[in-house]
């Protein structure tokens, strides 16, 4: 995913359609000069609807569309003719899109299934025609309801990447390199922090035509849950991954401390993230010899992890096996 094409946040002004006015009308024909009320109801105003589309992976198509306007409903007519409903405005969005109120931050809903449709801004109701207001004492009502106005409101759409495995680690932990080796993805790789500034997705091919999706997401820094760095944008995407792969480089000063910081950032953002299955990998293992690996295993005997090297391929198949086992673990 090129960073110029991946958009995971848009703010749009939604204007749903106004309802049509009810009709005030009395039946007239060549045989009837003073018939009863027969005013029809006004049509409903058009809704603004979000629809899940599994073919989309970004909100790019909505980035420059600041105003979304639905049609108004038509007014009712005589002979009890109902006004036509306003045409709904349907916006296709990727799975994992969350709709929020821009003013209050209230979460309205999340689109998770292909073809799922949810109303973002409802259209106004059509007014009732005068036929509804006839009574035994008022058989010729001379009033009808106006249509309900549509809504004009700002909404925020946020995308949470859907993947089986999310890579968690500080910048330069080797996440992008691993993704490029075990999948066909081609993320930008360089020896400086925050090379990855947008999520990258890759498909890992497994045995017997099986596969799973891995997401390389921008690295955490300490204080990410407070919005430091690009932390909040990162943490939003982690929520949608079923398994978390914690990646700690072999040259880190203290594996245990680094792991605890990463866990703390996730917990501070959303405590539910701590209930996800996890795997720990010590990356860049080509920097270590066998003797040093044994010493590390002894020092960190309370932690379960696997040494891997994206450059030499060391233990990558074992890592795939472990991830596949955890992804498919019975609930």
For residue 132, the domain's CATH number is 2.70.210.12
Q: Whole domain around residue 17: which residue ranges?
A: 1-159
Are both 201 and 136 inside the same structural domain?
Answer: no
Q: What is the b/e burial string over 147-169, where b = at least 16 CB atoms within 10 angstroms of the residue's CB? A: bbebbebebbbbbbbbbbbbbbb
If one counts the domains in the chain, the total is 2
State pTM to two decimals: 0.67
Are both 52 and 185 inside the same structural domain?
Answer: no
Taking phi over 0 as left and psi of -120 to 50 as alpha, with beta for the rest, 174 belongs to left
Q: Concatenate the DSSP letters of all residues of 103-155 into one string.
A: TT--EEEEE-STT-EEEEEPPPPPPPPGGGG--SS-SS----PPPPP--EEEE
Are both 70 and 115 inside the same structural domain?
Answer: yes
Q: What percent of the chain has pLDDT over 70?
A: 86
Residue 188's pLDDT band, with cuts at 50, 70 and 90, is: very low
Domain boundary among 159, 186, 209: 159
pLDDT digits (tens, 9 = 90+) for 128-171: 999 999 998 899 999 999 999 999 999 999 988 777 898 888 88
Are both 19 and 57 inside the same structural domain?
Answer: yes
Close Cβ partners of 202 (under 8 Å, ≥ 6 residues apart):
179, 180, 182, 183, 184, 185, 213, 214, 216
Read off φ and ψ for residue 50, nearest 5 degrees. Answer: -100, 135
What rounded mean pLDDT belongs to the chain? 86
Are both 89 and 105 inside the same structural domain?
Answer: yes
Answer for the pair 197, 6: CB distance below 8 angstroms, yes or no. no
Q: Is the per-residue pLDDT at 3 higher than 70?
A: no
Q: Which of 104-118, 261-275, 292-306 has the lowest mean pLDDT?
A: 261-275
pLDDT digits (tens, 9 = 90+) for 65-74: 889 999 999 9
User: Of 207 and 191, which is predicted with more confidence?
Assistant: 207
Are both 41 and 153 inside the same structural domain?
Answer: yes
Are both 226 and 112 inside the same structural domain?
Answer: no
Instruction: Please report where in the chains the tokens 């450059």 appear, as a residue.
Output: 311
Coil, strand, or helix at residue 238?
A: helix
Are both 115 and 33 inside the same structural domain?
Answer: yes
Q: What percent of the chain has pLDDT over 90?
A: 57
Are both 47 and 172 inside the same structural domain?
Answer: no
Q: Is the per-residue pLDDT at 254 higher than 50?
A: yes
Q: Is the per-residue pLDDT at 95 higher than 50?
A: yes
Domain boundary among 132, 159, 186: 159
Going by C-alpha positions, the residue among 257, 310, 323 that lies closest to residue 284 is 310
Q: Can you tell me the mean pLDDT for 301-316?
A: 94
Domain boundary among 110, 138, 159: 159
pLDDT digits (tens, 9 = 90+) for 209-247: 788 888 887 656 555 444 444 444 556 667 777 899 999
Are both 151 and 178 inside the same structural domain?
Answer: no
pLDDT of residue 237: 67
Q: What is the CA angle 184-187-190, rounded to 5?
A: 135
Are both 132 and 206 inside the same structural domain?
Answer: no
For residue 323, the domain's CATH number is 3.40.50.300
* Separation between Cα atoms, residue 99 and residue 274, nearest integer Å: 24
pLDDT of residue 285: 94
Six-digit token string for 165? 């495995």
Q: Is the per-residue pLDDT at 194 higher than 60?
A: no
pLDDT of residue 119: 97
């Amino acid at each position: 995913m090129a960073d110029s094409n991946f958009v995971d946040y848009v703010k749009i002004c939604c204007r749903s359609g106004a309802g049509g006015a009810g009709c005030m009308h009395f039946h007239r024909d060549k045989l009837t000069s003073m018939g009863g009320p027969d005013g029809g109801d006004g049509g409903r105003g058009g809704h603004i609807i979000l629809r899940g589309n599994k073919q989309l992976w970004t909100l790019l198509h909505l980035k420059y569309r600041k105003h979304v306007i639905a049609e108004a409903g038509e007014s009712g007519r005589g002979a009890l003719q109902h006004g036509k409903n306003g045409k709904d405005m349907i916006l296709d969005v990727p799975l994992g899109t969350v709709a929020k109120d821009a003013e209050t931050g209230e979460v309205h809903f999340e689109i998770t299934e292909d073809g799922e449709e949810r109303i973002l801004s409802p259209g106004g109701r059509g007014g009732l025609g005068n036929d509804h207001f006839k009574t035994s004492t008022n058989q010729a009502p001379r009033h009808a309801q106006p249509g309900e106005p549509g809504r004009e409101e700002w909404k925020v759409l946020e995308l949470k990447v859907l993947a089986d495995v999310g890579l968690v680690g500080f910048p330069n932990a080797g996440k992008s390199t691993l993704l490029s080796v075990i999948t066909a993805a081609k993320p930008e790789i360089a020896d400086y922090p925050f090379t990855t500034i947008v999520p990258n997705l890759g498909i890992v091919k497994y045995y017997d035509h099986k596969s799973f999706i891995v997401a390389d997401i921008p690295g955490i820094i300490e204080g990410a849950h407070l919005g430091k760095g690009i932390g909040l944008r990162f943490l939003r995407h982690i929520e949608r991954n079923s398994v978390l792969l914690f990646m700690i480089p072999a040259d880190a000063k203290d594996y245990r401390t680094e792991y605890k910081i990463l866990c703390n950032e996730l917990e501070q953002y959303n405590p539910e993230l701590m209930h996800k299955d996890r795997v720990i990998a010590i990356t860049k293992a080509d920097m270590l010899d066998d003797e040093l690996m044994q010493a590390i295993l002894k020092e960190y005997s309370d932690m379960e992890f696997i040494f891997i090297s994206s450059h030499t391929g060391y233990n990558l198949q074992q890592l795939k096996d472990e991830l596949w086992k955890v992804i498919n673990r019975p609930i």
